[in-house]
Amino acid sequence: MPAGFVYVLENETIPGLLKIGSTEKNPEERAKELMTTGVPSSFKVVYYCYVSDNKLVEELVHRALESQGCRKHSNREFFTVSVDEAIRVIEAISSEQDGSTSERVHGYYVGRSIYLQTKLPSYEEQIDENEVERLEVKLTEVARIGYHPALQTLAEIFMRNFLNSIRFRMYYQEYLIACQEYSKILSDPRNQDKYEIGKSVAKYIECLVEMKCIMASDFEFVQKFFLSGDQFIYEGFIGYVNRFFQGDIKDRCLNL
């Protein structure tokens, strides 16, 4: 039961036909893969959604459209159907299979698209208070849509420009909690992804030490965070601490 995307692609050189398929990759990457010597122009992603069983949803969508006489060839993924109708069928079938999971993951990729179009300062670049406020509005909006890594970026902006420990704590803790929640909604999240969450928790402590504002409440947050998580997140944390921490901070982290 692979989790992944069901997508709709169109190509200007084959008007009237839509390609409807599934992939475990980002649909934009899949569209690029289809640009071969036999296709004069590139495919454009016009719609996609994330589902817990993309192969099943793809098969059900193909069956539904085939029953309407929309399938061009029985062994191909091309259909003579409008974009609106294709989306209607996919959403009807995926909602029966998934509930709210597809909406949350879809929000992640919509937010990611906006995030990638946002002009961000380089790591060394210093920015003024007005620019920080503008980015705070923009990045919190992106996070509300569903792309939680925007919160990590925002926390680091406050750390680099104002050494604002209160804002850094608030946004980085929100980011860590969102990471953990996001990992839970995936049907088969990779352990490596969870190790990375654990490393991010360690980096949170590392940043506070660097800012010289580490407090007992920070260790309490981390301890509660692990109590609501799983062993793979904790192992990622311990691995980073053993490799990069020293002295009292290392001992404190290893004894949480």
**Most confident of the ranges 77-81, 134-138, 183-187:** 134-138
pLDDT class for 13, splitting at 50, 70, 90? confident
Per residue in 189-237, pLDDT tens? 557 788 999 999 999 999 999 999 999 999 999 999 999 878 889 999 9
Average pLDDT of the chain? 87
Q: What is the pLDDT, as a whole number, of residue 187?
A: 47
Average pLDDT over residues 59-82: 85
Map residue 110 onto helix, strand or coil. Answer: helix
121: closest CA among 69, 86, 80, 161? 161
% of the chain residues with pLDDT over 70: 90
pLDDT digits (tens, 9 = 90+) for 115-172: 988 999 998 898 999 999 999 999 999 999 889 999 999 999 999 988 778 999 999 9
Mean pLDDT score, 91-109:
70
Which of 17-21, 26-30, 49-53 is predicted most confidently?
17-21
Polymer length in residues for the chain: 256
- Is the Cβ–Cβ distance between 6 and 54 less than 8 Å? yes
Phi, psi of 22 (to 5 degrees): -140, 155
Mean pLDDT of 82-90: 90
> What's the angle, vertex CA 122, arms to CA 179 and CA 133, rounded to 5?
70
Measured distance CA(152)–CA(228) in Å, rounded: 20
